[in-house]
Amino acid sequence: MKVAVIGAGASGLFAAAALKRSGADFMLFEREKRAGKKLLATGNGRCNLSNKNVSVSRYHGEADFSESALNRYGTNSLISFMESVGVPCVFEGEKLFPRSLQASSVLDMLRFAEGESEICETEVKKICRNGKAFDVYTEKGIYRADKVIVCCGGKAAKHLSGGGAYTLLTDLGHTLTPLKPAIVQLKCAGTKALDGVKINAAASLDGKTETGEVLFTSYGLSGPPILQLSREAKGKTICIDLMPELNFAEITEMLKNKKTLKYLTAENLFNGIINKKLGRELLRVSGITPFSKNIGEISDKEIKSLAAIVKNLKFEITDTNGFDNAQVTAGGIKCSGFNPQTMESKLVPGLYAVGEVLNIDGDCGGFNLQWAYSSAMSAVQSIIKK
Ligand SMILES: Cc1cc2nc3c(=O)[nH]c(=O)nc-3n(C[C@H](O)[C@H](O)[C@H](O)COP(=O)(O)OP(=O)(O)OC[C@H]3O[C@@H](n4cnc5c(N)ncnc54)[C@H](O)[C@@H]3O)c2cc1C
């Protein structure tokens, strides 16, 4: 039995390494010059492999479809697998990393484990049924396979993985859902003057709050809490609490105390309390003018309004920063066309799809590489059993 694995990204390399171990005969196709380009960029080059909190609730799209694979091949399974290919793992907080903290070492070890067998610079153009087998069409020729695992990833970060190959599956009758960028920076007005400012804050959207370092840029917002909320943010308002550790009364008190320094101008109200650029922006948003007036002239009402803005600075999100800057694709090939236990197509027996190409995306924090692993293992185990 010959297996064609299409795409030598995260899920393709996991699948190939597991196939190699089982002694299966397989071919691994990759359209880029080298395998695992995106893997190298993961976790800022450190490769955040998984998370202590893996559960269906951290996935989106047809999330329920992921349950079986995540239960059978979850974080512990991934840790054992990585250990078995020579990469012990460590947790940093809730996130799992290779002990080396180097994505390149994960790529090296997966490639050694799969036998460095990838056929690079070979784009698969088409997959056609040929009796019970498949013909895999590439510019270098047609390859015959008994089983095909499509591991072509999504539309995100085209420079790292070519931007998807959904037609391989839609040509065989599968359906593609609408696609949108996720885990991505957000565009909004009102941040130009704050370009480069970073602050530990709590960002909220639709009743969901994420804390961490928020980064203001010339075009909008970035940083882990923003990326985490980005999936549903377009056209909505993100509220940022700039001092989550203090309540409204405590901030009001702190600002009132500052007002007693009568030698200061209004402009200096936030100086020493919060980033200067941000302080000026807060004064501007609350309409306190002129900045040159004496600090004592700021009324108690104005102080309360400033404290309220500190707790709830609002940004209308006009757009995301697009697929090219996104870490994952929300949407993909409809999972309902596949068996959740095996990842095998219900329409075309012998055809499998795993990883980001499917209509499943995880939160930021290792959930997407975990899905690449769990789905790849489900497919490989099913093929090996057969
Ligand atoms: C900058 C960045 C950082 C990230 N960090 C993390 C992180 O730390 N943790 C985490 O969990 N997730 C992270 N992700 C997301 C994660 O990398 C992806 O979800 C994951 O790589 C998806 O795996 P995949 O195998 O489905 O697709 P990919 O890894 O994208 O692999 C698909 C492969 O298929 C190849 N291919 C596509 N079409 C064809 C074709 N027709 N013929 C041949 N080859 C083809 C592509 O070139 C590519 O190599 C990050 C993403 C980015 C962009």
pLDDT at res. 289: 85
| Alpha carbon of residue 109 to chain centroid | 23
One-letter identity of residue 139: E
Residue 39 Cα to ligand 1 midpoint, Å, equals 6
Q: In the predicted model, is pLDDT for residue 163 greater than 80?
A: no
For residue 210, CA distances in Å to 28, 225, 291, 305, 357 come to: 39, 5, 33, 24, 27
Q: Which long-range contacts (CB under 8 A, 24 or more apart) does 56-59 make?
A: 58/362, 58/363, 58/365, 58/367, 59/360, 59/361, 59/362, 59/363, 59/367, 59/371
Q: Whose CA is nearest to atom 47 of ligand 1?
A: 161
Q: Whose CA is nearest to atom 4 of ligand 1?
A: 42
pLDDT at res. 159: 87
Measured from the Cα of 361, ligand 1's closest atom is 19
Does residue 6 line the site of ligand 1, with CB under 6 A? yes
Q: Whose CA is nearest to atom 5 of ligand 1?
A: 42
pLDDT at res. 353: 98
Q: Whose CA is nearest to atom 34 of ligand 1?
A: 7
Q: In the predicted model, is pLDDT for residue 219 greater than 80?
A: yes
Residue 118, φ and ψ in degrees, nearest 5: -65, 145
**Substitution site in 58, 118, 150, 152 for ligand 1 pocket (most atoms within 8 Å of beta carbon):** 152
Q: In the predicted model, is pLDDT for residue 119 greater than 90?
A: no
Between 291 and 166, whose confidence is greater? 166
Q: Whose CA is nearest to atom 27 of ligand 1?
A: 153
Spatial neighbors of 235 by CB under 8 A, at least 6 apart, are 317, 318
Q: Whose CA is nearest to atom 24 of ligand 1?
A: 153
All structural domains of the chain, each given as residue ranges with its CATH number in brackets, are 2-177+333-385 (3.50.50.60), 185-321 (2.40.30.10)
**Substitution site in 27, 42, 170 for ligand 1 pocket (most atoms within 8 Å of beta carbon):** 42
Measured from the Cα of 168, ligand 1's closest atom is 41
- In the sheet with 133-138, reading across from the earlier edge strand, the strands are 124-130, 133-138, 141-145
Would the pTM of this model clear 0.85, i.e. be above it? yes
Spatial neighbors of 247 by CB under 8 A, at least 6 apart, are none
Measured from the Cα of 165, ligand 1's closest atom is 38
Dist CA 217 CA 8 (whole Å) = 34
Dist CA 225 CA 235 (whole Å) = 18
Dist CA 363 CA 67 (whole Å) = 15
34-58 confidence digits (pLDDT tens): 999 999 999 999 999 999 999 999 9
Spatial neighbors of 310 by CB under 8 A, at least 6 apart, are 241, 242, 243, 251, 274, 282
Of 364, 384, 375, nearest in space to 7 by CA? 375
Does residue 350 line the site of ligand 1, with CB under 6 A? no
Q: Whose CA is nearest to atom 8 of ligand 1?
A: 43
Mean pLDDT across the stretch 187-206? 96
Spatial neighbors of 295 by CB under 8 A, at least 6 apart, are 258, 259, 261, 262, 264, 265, 266, 268, 269
pLDDT at res. 162: 74
Measured from the Cα of 370, ligand 1's closest atom is 11
Of 258, 243, 224, nearest in space to 309 by CA? 243
Q: In the predicted model, is pLDDT for residue 127 greater than 90?
A: yes
Residue 194 Cα to ligand 1 midpoint, Å, equals 32
DSSP bridge pairs for 128:
135
**Mean pLDDT computed over every residue of the chain:** 96
Query: What is the band of 351 on the pLDDT scale with cuts at 50, 70, 90?
Result: very high
52-82 confidence digits (pLDDT tens): 999 999 999 999 999 999 999 999 999 999 9
Between 162 and 148, whose confidence is greater? 148
> Which helix (H) or strand (E) element contains residue 156?
none
Q: And the tokens for 67?
A: 């349950």
pLDDT at res. 161: 78
pLDDT at res. 272: 96
Q: In the predicted model, is pLDDT for residue 169 greater than 80?
A: yes
Mean pLDDT across the stretch 11-22? 97
Does residue 43 line the site of ligand 1, with CB under 6 A? yes
Burial profile 226-236: b = 16 or more Cβ within 10 angstroms, e = fewer: bbbbbbebeee
pLDDT at res. 234: 97
299-312 confidence digits (pLDDT tens): 999 999 999 999 99
pLDDT at res. 164: 75
Mean pLDDT across the stretch 22-37? 95
Q: In the predicted model, is pLDDT for residue 135 greater than 90?
A: yes
Does residue 48 line the site of ligand 1, with CB under 6 A? yes
Q: In the predicted model, is pLDDT for residue 243 greater than 90?
A: yes
248-305 confidence digits (pLDDT tens): 999 999 999 999 999 999 999 999 999 999 999 999 999 998 889 999 999 999 999 9
pLDDT at res. 386: 81
